[in-house]
Amino acid sequence: MKFPSTVARVMAATAAMAIVASPAFARPRAVSKVLGYVTAHSHDGNGSIRAPYRATDVGYQVRLPHGTWVYCKRSCSETLRVNTVDVWANIDDASPIGVGTLSAECGVFGCLRREWSF
């Protein structure tokens, strides 16, 4: 006898979630005008690039040279650097895994590098 009531509860919960979630997914994202420009300098001597950034209701975005807006990860200048001038800089064994991802960006304290010399 408990089986039909459990099924009814699950169906009611599913219907409630659909009603609550549908307006949130249906509306377009709020996008502001260009707030300013960021400059990204290559760490490997590949030059620099300047691009606009804007705010959305879920975070900042920076525009890549071909016009695509991507969400900023740690900072907009780091995201721009990793996706443009240093896109192939940290690739080992010619594997494209990690190209333009968060793993290629510098940390909160900047790019900390360890160098040894004798």
**Would you mind telling me the total number of residues written for the chain in this entry?**
118
Structural contact between residues 68 and 62, judged by C-beta atoms closer than 8 angstroms: no
- 4-46 pLDDT tens trace: 677 778 777 777 766 665 555 656 677 889 999 999 988 878 8
Domain ranges of the chain: 31-104
Structural contact between residues 55 and 101, judged by C-beta atoms closer than 8 angstroms: no
What's the pLDDT score for residue 5? 74
What's the pLDDT score for residue 13? 76
